[in-house]
Structure formats: C-alpha cells, structure tokens
Amino acid sequence: MKINTVGVPLLCKEGSGEVDLPHLTSPYKGEVEIITIEGLSKDGRLHPIQQAFMDCGAVQCGFCTPGMVLTAKALLDKNPNPTREEIRKAMAANLCRCTGYQQIVDAIEEAAKKCR
Ligand code: FES
C-alpha cells in the first residue's frame, strides 16, 4: 500500500512524496488515519493550531513546525485543556533550535482555547 504526501519528507522515495508503507512499523493493525501538516488546513484556512503558531511567533525557520503542530494536535485531541507542564511534557521529543519553546507553549495554550 502506498500513500502520497509531502509532509513526511524523510520517508519519501527520492523526494517524490510517495511513501512505501511496508517500511513503516506500527503497533496498529487494520485501518489507521494518517494526518499530515497539509491535511490540517481546510478550504484554504489554517487550522487553529497553525494559526496560533503564526500569531504567537512560534514559527521561525519552520523546520520543526510540522512536527510541533501535529504533536500539539494529538495532545489537544486527547487533552483539550492541558497545563503548561503537560504541554511541555507532550512536546519533549520535538526539538526546536530557534524559538526557545516559550512561544510554542504559548501557541498551544492559545490553540487549546480556540479549539474548545
Ligand atoms: S522554528 Fe526553527 S527549529 Fe523550530
């Protein structure tokens, strides 16, 4: 099975945007939903998390931003009202070389308010 995406460039074949799923390992059996950063915006409008990252200055070079935004979405889907500590803990595996994380935590708090 193959999917087409540009949001997971590290797994693409020669930058084609095509991902070969047998190379992915997953503990999930059966049907799973894969959401890429491009899949969050609807009708040309940014998702509230994406907009909050823009509004709070949580995007500088942007290298980490897709992972940060998608991790934030997973957090807010499970916990719509996280504390700042819960946000920091959820984001701990995502590294950002630019922002110092303060703006990222601010953005996720702001997005949580908008998504409730
Ligand atoms: S915005 Fe540059 S690495 Fe995070």
Distance 66 CA to ligand 1 centre (A): 10
Residue, of 51 and 24, whose pLDDT is higher: 51
Ligand 1 atom 4, closest CA: 96
pLDDT tens by residue, 13-36: 455 555 555 556 667 677 778 888
Ligand 1 atom 2, closest CA: 61
Distance 72 CA to ligand 1 centre (A): 15
What number does CATH give the domain 38-115?
Answer: 1.10.150.120
Q: Which pLDDT score, from 0 to 100, does residue 10 have?
A: 40
pTM score > 0.85 for this model?
A: no
Q: Which residues line ligand 1 (CB under 6 A)?
A: 59-65, 96-99
Checking 100-109 for CB contacts under 8 A at 24+ apart, the result is 103/56, 103/57, 103/58, 104/53, 104/56, 104/58, 104/68, 106/56, 106/58, 107/49, 107/52, 107/53, 107/55, 107/56, 107/58, 107/72, 108/49, 108/52, 108/72, 108/75, 108/76, 108/82, 109/82, 109/84
Pinpoint the residues of the chain covered by CATH 1.10.150.120.
38-115
Distance 107 CA to ligand 1 centre (A): 14
For residue 3, pLDDT beyond 70: no
